[in-house]
């Protein structure tokens, strides 16, 4: 549970001459629910794109275990990325396909399984996210929360060791967001997946995050790392505290977190 899963070493991200973040160094351990947090525009989603092989860093590298992602050849890189599944912010379901067809897509593209076996796996994955019986529905026929869960079923189609989530609670009502948080935590607990989440939602950060990094837009680097609740009680950086309290006093926020902790026991 404490062995390195992904390591980010001396990484600088940029779009052309525009530096987004620099000197990033942190490790995501196996079995963690790791949160990438910070204010809007700080580079959270950009960092995610670097971690899943969609954007090459200007400097530095990403390691999956001991293997360099960006130093590897194309075939090796694709093999590393086969360990991952991604839930994008919008869910990114194909509107012309049913939920079953969406979830089946990675299986038909990357395996030689029979059509019958794929149907069985698709039904199983949809059942895992609470969508048993919705195989023939189209994305437009279900709610936003259900679309997120269907996107998660597709992300899990190839049984990845690592799941990435980009703002999974965005656009959801509080009840749907909590249900999704509970599902994410259950996947970690029962499937042993390592989960990396980009989010600014405090409820999710404190409810499920086991470790985190905070990206600062002004200094263009990470200025804090650690378990989110520990950062709330121990950090002395005003930017971190302002983000984690959102204008509330540190004492009242700490009380709220303690109360939430008791409710989760």
The answer to whether residue 77 sits within a structural domain is yes
Q: Output the pLDDT for position 114.
A: 93
Helix ranges (H only) for 210-249 are 228-234, 238-245
Q: Look at residue 259 and tell me whether its pLDDT is greater than 60.
A: no
113-143 b/e (C-beta count within 10 Å ≥ 16 → b): eeeeebeebbbebbebbebeebbebbbeebe
26-70 tens-digit pLDDT: 999 999 999 999 988 899 999 999 999 999 999 999 999 999 999
Please check whether residue 26 is in contact with residue 60, taking contact to mean a CB–CB distance below 8 angstroms. Answer: no
Please check whether residue 185 is in contact with residue 152, taking contact to mean a CB–CB distance below 8 angstroms. Answer: no
Q: Which of 187, 198, 166, 261 is closest to 38 using CA atoms? A: 198
82-114 tens-digit pLDDT: 889 998 876 678 889 999 999 999 899 888 899
Residue 77 sits in a domain whose CATH number is 3.40.50.300
129-166 tens-digit pLDDT: 889 999 999 999 998 888 888 988 898 888 889 999 99
The answer to whether residue 182 sits within a structural domain is yes
26-47 b/e (C-beta count within 10 Å ≥ 16 → b): bbbbbbbbbbbbbeeebbbebb
The answer to whether residue 250 sits within a structural domain is yes
Q: Output the pLDDT for position 189.
A: 86
* Vertex 34: Cα angle to 33 and 37 (nearest 5): 130
218-244 tens-digit pLDDT: 999 999 999 999 999 999 999 999 999
The answer to whether residue 110 sits within a structural domain is no
Show the domain range for 63.
4-83+160-264
Q: Look at residue 73 and tell me whether its pLDDT is greater than 70.
A: yes
Q: Which of 6, 38, 34 is closest to 219 using CA atoms? A: 38
The answer to whether residue 140 sits within a structural domain is no
Structural domains in the chain (count)? 1
The answer to whether residue 23 sits within a structural domain is yes
pLDDT band at 245 (very low <50, low <70, confident <90, very high): very high
Q: Output the pLDDT for position 180.
A: 84
The answer to whether residue 105 sits within a structural domain is no
* Vertex 97: Cα angle to 96 and 101 (nearest 5): 165
The answer to whether residue 247 sits within a structural domain is yes
More confident residue, 228 or 168: 228
Q: Look at residue 178 and tell me whether its pLDDT is greater than 90.
A: no
Q: Look at residue 253 and tell me whether its pLDDT is greater than 70.
A: no
More confident residue, 259 or 243: 243
Report how far apart, in Å, the C-alpha atoms of 252 and of each of 204, 226, 245 are.
18, 21, 9
């Amino acid at each position: 549970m404490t062995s390195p899963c992904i390591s980010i070493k001396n990484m600088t991200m940029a779009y052309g001459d525009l530096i987004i973040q620099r000197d990033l160094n942190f490790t995501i351990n196996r079995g963690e629910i790791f949160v990438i947090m910070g204010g809007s525009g700080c580079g959270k989603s950009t960092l995610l794109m670097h971690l899943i092989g969609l954007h090459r860093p200007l400097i530095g590298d990403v390691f999956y275990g001991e293997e360099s992602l960006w130093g590897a050849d194309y075939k090796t890189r694709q093999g590393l990325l086969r360990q991952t599944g991604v839930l994008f912010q919008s869910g990114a379901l194909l509107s012309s396909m049913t939920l079953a067809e969406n979830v089946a897509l990675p299986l038909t593209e990357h395996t030689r399984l029979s059509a019958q076996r794929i149907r069985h796996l698709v039904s199983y994955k949809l059942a895992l996210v609470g969508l048993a019986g919705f195989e023939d529905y189209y994305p437009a026929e279900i709610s936003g929360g259900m679309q997120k869960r269907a996107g998660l079923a597709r992300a899990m189609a190839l049984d990845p060791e690592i799941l990435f989530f980009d703002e999974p609670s965005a656009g959801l009502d509080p009840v749907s967001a909590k249900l999704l948080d509970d599902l994410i935590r259950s996947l970690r607990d029962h499937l042993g997946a390592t989960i990396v989440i980009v989010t600014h939602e405090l409820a999710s950060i404190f409810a499920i995050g086991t470790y985190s990094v905070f990206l600062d837009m002004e200094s263009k680097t990470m200025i804090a790392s650690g378990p989110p609740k520990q950062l709330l009680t121990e950090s002395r950086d005003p930017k971190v505290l302002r983000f984690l309290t959102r204008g509330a006093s540190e004492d009242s926020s700490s009380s709220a977190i303690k109360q939430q902790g008791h409710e989760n026991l």
